[in-house]
């Protein structure tokens, strides 16, 4: 049937896109992680998690179309860091499609010495203090200078409108805050050295 009248969205960004297009009446089931727009949690039945779905619930909804997951987080995080004015310290990892191939060890992170660490977990809260408490992390510039930040996963890990609006804004704000702090520290060091010389 075209156009489809009964759509199940197993990804959050497809839900948001259909709402923005004014086609939310076609949605009959959504991912449990769908939070944009906020009213979706009240209006639509949840039929899936991040990587699993209740197939009986999906089939019972008799969908004409099921929109599913695409592993694009690496590309998205790379497109947003660059646009926001940042530089990825692990650029080769963004070319790896599987999440398990993009895991960074603690030692690799310590060697990379990032100025900013941005964490985002699907369905979990990112806790900067836990990152900072890891052995050897105290000397990492991001930890030392208190630039370990969270951006909520619905804003940055989905290939939809939120990543290009709120997610990009959040990432740019973190990078701008770091740049301003760096400039301020440089000015202070310059003043102190000119006073001493």
Q: Do 104 and 167 have their domain in common?
A: yes
One domain for residues 132 and 168 = yes
Backbone dihedral region for residue 22 (phi beyond 0: left; psi -120 to 50: alpha; all else: beta): left
- Which of 67, 91, 117 represents a domain boundary (last residue)? 67
Do residues 48 and 15 lie in contact, with contact meaning Cβ atoms separated by under 8 Å? no
User: Domain for residue 99, yes or no?
Assistant: yes
The helix (H) or strand (E) run that includes residue 8 is strand 7-9
Query: Domain ends where: 67, 98, 116?
Result: 67
Of 51, 67, 83, the one marking the end of a domain is 67
**How many domains does one find in the chain?**
2
DSSP string, 40-85: HHHHS-EEE-SS-B-HHHHHHT--SEEE-----HHHHHHHHHHHTT
Helices H / strands E in the chain, number of each: 10, 6
Is the residue at 27 inside a domain? Answer: yes
Residues 44 and 117 in one domain: no
42 within domain boundaries = yes
Q: Which string of DSSP letters, residue by residue, matches 96-120?
A: --SGGGG---HHHHHHH--S-EEE-
Q: Tens-of-pLDDT digits for all 197 residues of the chain? A: 678 899 998 888 889 999 999 999 999 999 888 888 999 999 999 988 766 677 788 888 989 888 876 555 566 666 777 878 888 888 888 777 777 788 889 999 999 999 999 998 877 788 999 999 999 999 999 999 999 999 988 888 776 778 778 888 999 999 999 999 988 887 787 788 777 65
| Position 186 in a domain | yes
- Residue 147 counted as domain residue: yes
Domain range for 115 is 73-193
Is residue 86 assigned to a domain? yes
143, part of any domain: yes
Write the CATH number for 91: 3.40.50.1980
| pTM reported for the whole predicted model | 0.68
Judge whether 134 lies within some domain.
yes
**Which residues partner with 66 through β-bridges?**
8
């Amino acid at each position: 049937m075209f156009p489809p009248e009964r759509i199940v969205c197993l990804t959050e960004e497809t839900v948001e896109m259909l709402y923005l297009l004014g086609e939310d009446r076609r949605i009959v089931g959504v991912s449990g992680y769908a939070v944009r727009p906020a009213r979706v949690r009240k209006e639509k039945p949840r039929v899936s998690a991040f990587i699993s779905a209740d197939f009986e619930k999906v089939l019972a909804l008799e969908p004409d179309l099921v929109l599913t997951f695409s592993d694009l987080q690496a590309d998205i995080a790379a497109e947003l860091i660059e646009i926001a004015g940042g530089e990825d310290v692990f650029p080769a990892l963004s070319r790896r499609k599987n999440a398990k191939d993009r895991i960074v060890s603690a030692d690799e992170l310590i060697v990379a010495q990032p100025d900013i660490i941005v964490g985002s977990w699907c369905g979990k809260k990112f806790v900067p203090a836990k990152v900072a408490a890891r052995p050897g992390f105290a000397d990492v510039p991001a930890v030392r200078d208190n630039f370990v930040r969270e951006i909520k996963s619905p804003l940055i890990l989905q290939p939809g409108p939120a990543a290009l609006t709120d997610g990009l804004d959040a990432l740019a704000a973190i990078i701008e805050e770091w740049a301003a702090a760096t400039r301020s520290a440089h000015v202070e060091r310059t003043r102190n050295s000119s006073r001493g010389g």
